[in-house]
Structure 1
């Protein structure tokens, strides 16, 4: 008896996962250096090779980053001569501020969050107590209040992730997450005003909590990672709409 070819019968819709690139992070850092005067107007930037070594990225990523800041009008590239700073201000400075803090970049923060929060959600699904799930569901209900300010929503967002970390019953993991809270608060306040971000964040929270309550560790981990991927999608969309990416 011939086994039916189910693969050909089931249509597959695969959506490309868009993520912030290394070059986006490098471009944001280089932009900040130019704005802060590390490279002055009229000054020639170090070579692509030197910059790639300094930033610890590939030359292709460095090249893409330079293209990005050139499109912002900060530098001008002359073939065979080099890249020169032509101005040190941006017409819309909000974009690089979304991607970089003083000591690290948002893509770096996302890398840590995917690991930490994905594992926290998976552990919580297997270890949660009734009090844990009650607290998560209470926070979800609070988040749907349309009268909440963005700042109030961000605070509830942080408290929800705290509750997930606590439900993991891993004290060290919860402590590590606690060290990220000030950074998460600052970052969240930056991106919450992006159109649709608040709604997307809530949808992600619902998926995470539902998987934890149901005890589905794999789904909880996947939902936590998807939640962070969704932030990347919103930031990329915002950057594209702002004319900062191609």
Structure 2
């Protein structure tokens, strides 16, 4: 999604609302026992027809349910209702076919590098864009903040001057948005994110590559610490193997 482009922004918002509605209805069917544990769901195409939505919306809805631990995808079998649904804490760890630790491992490699290179190679116009995104995010609500957060990191990667790095960072942006939507409500998370962004933006503007890299790494570590603190309240058995990686 490209913010600032009205003709592009409207359509993704509509699709997400449809997917959320479908996910909520399916979740209710599971909760009510109309889709019992272990039962197999109809094929994606059939579900899309039954709900009167497009396959992309249905696919997004199923991903949402899987991230919440309500359904499981079994290769060669299809999608089944989970025998033992995940707790909210376990679901917090799961993304589209990967986990938050998986995402953070990659971010720790890419984003400090991108910030350091941006401090060296960003043009004055690029630095202005990065700064403007940061200041705009401070005035945004949480939903808008999540989108601007992802856009800020994407713009830093583009400012690195390395098109391969920028492309890789862009490829994980959807996962970035997904996890951000889940964690933005954690106590103090929004304020910590804003502070981290401020340090990264300031270091890039001052052309201090080492400081920018360190700020980006600290920014990611802060998120990890917040999620780990949340999980420490009640580490579910279903997430124990993933939690050990932290």
Q: d(CA) in 2 for partners of 1:144 and 1:176?
A: 27
Cα distance, 1:102 vs. partner? 3.6
Out of 235, 240, 246, the residue aligned to residue 244 of structure 1 is 235
- Following superposition of structure 1 onto structure 2, how do residues 68-217 of structure 1 map, counting pairs within 5 Å? 88-89=84-85, 93-145=87-139, 148-217=140-209
Indicate the larger mover: 93-102 or 211-220: 93-102
TM-superposition CA deviations, 1:110-158 (whole Å, max 9, x none)? 010011111000100100111111011111111221xx32110001101
TM-superposition CA deviations, 1:24-65 (whole Å, max 9, x none)? xxxxxxxxxxxx85xxxxxxxxxxxxxxxxxxxxxxxxxxxx
Q: d(CA) in 1 for partners of 2:151 and 2:176?
A: 11
Mind listing any 5+ residue stretches in structure 1 that lack a counterpart? 1-35, 38-86
SS of residue paired to 1:215: coil
Q: Pick the structure with greater CA Rg.
A: 1
Kindly tell me the number of residue pairs found equivalent between the two proteins: 158
Q: What is the TM-score normalised by the length of structure 2? A: 0.61
TM-superposition CA deviations, 1:144-178 (whole Å, max 9, x none)? 21xx3211000110111011011101111111111
SS of residue paired to 1:113: helix
Structure 1: 4+ residue segments shifted above 4 A = none
The answer to which structure, 1 or 2, has the higher relative contact order (CA under 8 A, 6+ apart) is 1
Mind listing any 5+ residue stretches in structure 2 that lack a counterpart? 1-36, 39-82, 237-242
Cα distance, 1:240 vs. partner? 2.2
Q: d(CA) in 2 for partners of 1:240 and 1:172?
A: 37
| Pairwise CA RMSD | 2.0
Q: d(CA) in 2 for partners of 1:150 and 1:184?
A: 14
